[in-house]
Structure 1
Amino acid sequence: MSDVTAATYVPNLSSSAFSQLKGQTTKVGADGANADTQTFTVSKAGEFNFKVNNTFTNVEIRNDRNEVVTTIRSKESASDATARLGPGTYTATISQANRAAGVRDYSLDVTERQNVLVTGAGATLKGTAQPPGNGDTGVQKHTFNVLQGGNFTANISLPNTRWAMMDKDGKVVAASDSGKPDSQQTFLQKPTYKLEPGQYTMVVVPPSSLKSPTDFMMNLVPRNADLSESGANQESAISKTLRERQTRLRQWASEAKPTSTKV
């Protein structure tokens, strides 16, 4: 993790899964509001999530040609935005929406938004979960591109974590949680999800009890949907329970209220 506190240090977002730009709004912006600037570089093209942890704070990010690549406007809660950046140097201007607030501390979190390719052999998502706070839930979004459709089970290493996968139309196609450790479920006990070729969005909701940034992995593993505990095609009692649980989780994901995360 990169904690940027000195103006002389220019972080490279491509070299870390998580970076944090911190400072104080001791300068004056073009609109007369208290502001500050941060410079960072990108050495490898990619998609990044920028999250400002402070209320009533504006962020504008420009490239080395002075073109605006993304903006963030937080109000009563933290807010974020996603930008696809190529190699180069960028400048973030952080300013206060409330001019009467005086000098304030701020922090801007930056994480890489992974675009995961799913083949017939499955796929792996690697991420870093951030503790919720400052009005933000810690929700992450990642893109999954399914090249070869099929049936998959899912394993996530972070306990007590909810997740949901939606297709391009926003329909939930898979959802679960890891409240029960994977070690207590056999491969045949895990729910099976059918994915067709296409692009999907994965939403990961880390536990509210998380105290520090924690690395996690999520694996999609190919699965023969006809397999059961008994080796027969009839639905077993365990499969029925898991199917009903999956239905409830999909309903939760489809009815969940929007968070401050914007993509």
Structure 2
Amino acid sequence: MTDISASTYVPNLSSSAFSQFKGKTTGVGADGANADSQTFTVSKAGEFNFKINNSFTNVEIRNDRNEVVTTLRSQESTADASARLGPGTYTATFSQANRAAGVRDYSMDVTERQNILVTGGGATLKGTAQPPANGDTGIQKHTFNVVQGGTFTANMTLPNTRWAMMDKDGKVVAASDSGKPDNQESFLQKPTYKLEPGQYTMVVVPPSDLKSPTDFQMSLVPRNPTLTESGSNQESAIAKTLRERQDRLRQWASEAKPTTTKV
């Protein structure tokens, strides 16, 4: 974790899983509003999540060619945005939407937005949960790219953590809201999630009583959906019903006498 509070320090976002910019809007921006600027670098191309923790605060991030790469505009609550950044130097300008507010504190969290590749062998997301503070809920977003579909169970190591996976249309395809880590449940009692190839967004909501930054892992584990408590690949009740129905349809089709139509 990197806490940036001094403007003379230029952090490298690629060297830390979590960074936080803090300061005061003691300057004046181009539009006349109270503002402040901070500089950071990126040494390795990647996608980052930016979250402003203050109400009625605007953030504009520009590259070293003075091109805007992303903006954030919070209203009554926090605001977040993500951007893919290449190596280089960037400047974040913080300004107040309410010009009459005077000098105010601000803070912005930056996390790496991991793009997880899911194969038939599963996948693992590694992250650091941040304690809620200054109106920040600690919510994280990550991208999962499923290249080989299948049926999976999930292991979240952090207790009291909610998570949900959504497809490109925003439909929830997997979720958990357990009071204990997913990996403490019996493997055969875990819910299974069928994922088709495509891109998904994972939203992770850490517990509200988290006191300090805590590392966690979120794993997708391949699962044979017909596996039973006995440990053998016996047929599940649903699979048996579907098979018997198909058998009856095949038998009916084979016994049905052909019909002819006379004109």
Under a length normalisation based on structure 1, what TM-score does the superposition of the two structures give?
0.86
Which residue identity does 2:152 align to in structure 1? F
Corresponding residue for residue 223 of structure 1: 223
Q: 1:234 Cα deviation (Å)?
A: 3.0
Moved more, 173-182 or 59-68: 173-182
Amino acid at match of 1:40: F
Distance 1:130 1:42, change over 3 A: same
Structure 1 match to 2:236: 234
- What letter is aligned with 1:179? G
Provide the C-alpha distance between the structure 1 equivalents of 2:223 and 2:57, rounded to a whole number of angstroms: 46
Query: Which residue in 2 is equivalent to 1:162?
Result: 162
Q: Return the letter of the residue paired with 1:221.
A: V
Q: 1:86 to 1:22 in 2, by over 3 A?
A: same
Aligned to 1:145: 145
2:67 matches 1:56? no
The aligned length equals: 236
Please report how far the alpha carbon of residue 99 of structure 1 lies from its aligned counterpart in structure 2 after TM superposition. 1.2
User: Which one is further off, 88-97 or 1-10?
Assistant: 1-10
Larger Rg belongs to: 2
Q: Counterpart of 1:103?
A: 103
Question: What is the RMSD of the two structures over their aligned residues, measured on CA atoms?
Answer: 1.4
Quick one: structure 1 residues 197 and 183, their matched pair in 2 at CA, closer, same or farther if it must change by over 3 Å?
Answer: closer
Q: Deviations over 1:125-145 (max 9, x none)?
A: 011112223333222111100
Native 8 Å contact 1:158 1:178 kept in 2: no
Question: Where in structure 2 are there 5+ consecutive unaligned residues?
Answer: 239-263
Q: Tell me the SS of whatever aligns to 2:141.
A: strand
CA distance in 1, matches of 2:183, 2:154: 13
Structure 2: distance between partners of 1:127 and 1:181: 15
SS for the counterpart of 2:7 is coil
Q: Is the 8 A contact 1:77 1:134 kept in 2?
A: no
Shift of 1:183: 5.6
| Local SS of the residue matching 1:55 | coil
CA contact 2:126–2:215 (8 Å) conserved in 1: yes
> Residues of 1 paired with 2:183 and 2:120: CA distance?
24
Q: Please give the residue correspondences for 1:171-190 in structure 2 after superposition, counting only pairs within 5 Å.
A: 171-182=171-182, 184-190=184-190
- Superposition deviation, residue 163 in structure 1: 0.8
Contact map agreement 1:26 1:34 (CA 8 A) in 2: yes
- 1:184 shift after superposition: 4.0
Identity of aligned residues (%): 83
Moved >4 Å (runs of 4+)? none
- Counterparts of 1:113-124 in structure 2 under 5 Å? 113-124=113-124
Contact map agreement 2:158 2:181 (CA 8 A) in 1: no
Give 1:136's aligned residue. 136
Distance 1:17 1:9 in 2: 18
SS in structure 1 at match of 2:236 = coil
Aligned to 1:259: none
Question: For the residues of structure 1 that align with 2:32 and 2:122, how far apart are their CA atoms?
Answer: 52
Report what 1:44 is aligned to. Answer: 44
Aligned to 2:212: 212
Tell me, what secondary structure is at the counterpart of 2:165? strand
1:228–1:235 contact (8 Å) kept in structure 2: no
TM-score by length of 2: 0.86
Residues 168-213 of structure 1, C-alpha deviations (whole Å, 9 max, x = no match): 1111111113413446422111111111111111111111111222
What is the rounded CA distance, in whole Å, between the counterparts of 1:229 and 1:17 in structure 2?
39
Query: Is residue 13 of structure 2 the alignment partner of residue 13 of structure 1?
Result: yes
Instruction: Provide the rounded CA distance (Å) in 1 between the counterparts of 2:67 and 2:22.
Output: 23
